[in-house]
Amino acid sequence: MTLEKQGETLITGFDFYNCDMHFSDKQKALRQEVRDFVETEVTPNINPYWEKAEFPWEIARKIVNLPIIGGPLFEHGAAGLDFVEMGLVMYELGKGDGSISTFYGVHSGLAMGSIGMLGDEEQKARWLPDMVKLEKIGAFALTEPDVGSNAAQVKTTARKSGDGFVLNGAKRWIGNASISDILIIWARDEDSGNFGGFVIEDPGGTEGVAINDIWGKVGKRAVLNADITLDEVFVPKENRLAHVNRFRDMAQVLGVGRYGVAWEAAGVAAGAFELALKYTKAREQFGKPIAGFQLIQQKLVEMATEVTLMQTLCLQLSHLINRGLLNAGTASMAKYNNARKARYVTQLARECLGGNGIIIENHIARLMLDAEIIYTYEGTNEVNLLLVGRELTGLNAFV
């Protein structure tokens, strides 16, 4: 038995506590548009790409038809979403597939967000219009082979040279890198020690840049992540993002990213739960639907409760961010909670399907493994926990 054969829409909209009552008609209409896209374009088509670890251009290109690129940015044709809308978009994409939500999050959130929040007017006008149309794809390169959680200590360097800078170093795990046209490298200035963002245009054709995709990932397989080496790479001075000198400047982008990832994790969990609910109502053993057994109901209630808690946490976080009240503690608490709960919920969902739970055509196994990645990126769970701890106690447990 597969979920497709039940002849029902796969993904609906579980909302036990009626969070909907807080959303405007405009917000709901946007959510519906993204949900329709996921149901018609993503869910029916993503599995072969995930299995082959191939980037789904066929699906990704169609995102341009949705009014969501650029998220909360509003200049140069960007979507100008409010933060509730941005959250709902990440939730719906996450419900469908974690690779698509990551492609969108890296391009629209991390890369366009860096330019929109930290670039000057000339830089925004130069890069954002093509990125809005997906004619240029963005990537955000912070992590390095030797620098992960301690991202502020990046070893990649920028040396002043003539009319620009020369970059040297290495980056790891960089999403969209091998398909990128706008690659943002975060590095330290060799002389001043300042932190900066340097935009490499057309990295594939730039001397000294080597980009190699990382193979063998067990989650988010349909989005590409790469190792990068930078060997005496020249970047013109006008490509240094104008409003970044400290790690803290860039961390604003990560804060908004963490907000989006908290919604994404809630979406992944909700997607798995909804699929498990449908399956258990249809699957019969011992002469009745397995949803009628107490032990299955325990799993369903556990999942429904966790999803509801994630939804309500995201909702309140959206009110905080809309009012400019998001801080490191509140963003990290939501990411910390939702990432680990997404892992838990997707595992329960997979259990409910028995053997069918490990088959990709039933989607839950893919969501379960995508949740593994969410647990680690945008700050590992431990790092987000410690950020909340620092906020609560005023004491830094990192070092």
Q: Which residues bind ligand FAD (CB under 6 A)?
A: 106, 140-143, 148-149, 173-175, 220, 225, 373, 376-377, 380, 382-383, 386, 398
| 11 vs 334 by CB, closer to ligand FAD | 334
| 55 vs 173 by CB, closer to ligand FAD | 173
Q: Helical H runs in 283-327?
A: 294-322
Nearest approach, Cβ of residue 144 and ligand FAD (Å) = 8
Nearest approach, Cβ of residue 165 and ligand FAD (Å) = 19
Nearest approach, Cβ of residue 374 and ligand FAD (Å) = 9
**Sequence letter at residue 224:** L
- Beta strands (DSSP E) in 124-261 are 138-141, 157-161, 164-175, 182-189, 195-201, 209-213, 225-236
119: Cβ contacts below 8 Å, ≥ 6 apart: 127, 241, 242, 243
Nearest approach, Cβ of residue 353 and ligand FAD (Å) = 25
SS3 236: strand
Nearest approach, Cβ of residue 70 and ligand FAD (Å) = 18
Distance of alpha carbon 69 from alpha carbon 78, whole angstroms? 6
Cβ(166)–Cβ(93) below 8 Å: no
Distance of alpha carbon 135 from alpha carbon 201, whole angstroms? 13
Nearest approach, Cβ of residue 37 and ligand FAD (Å) = 23
Looking at residue 223, what DSSP letter applies?
S
| 230 vs 373 by CB, closer to ligand FAD | 373
Q: Please, what's the largest Cα pairwise distance for the chain? A: 79
Nearest approach, Cβ of residue 399 and ligand FAD (Å) = 7
| 11 vs 222 by CB, closer to ligand FAD | 222
| 143 vs 318 by CB, closer to ligand FAD | 143
| 145 vs 289 by CB, closer to ligand FAD | 145
Q: Nearest-CB residue to ligand FAD? A: 148
333: Cβ contacts below 8 Å, ≥ 6 apart: 384, 388
Give the CA distances from residue 239 to residues 198, 203, 273, 274, in Å, rounded to whole numbers and listed in that order: 6, 13, 45, 45
| 21 vs 399 by CB, closer to ligand FAD | 399
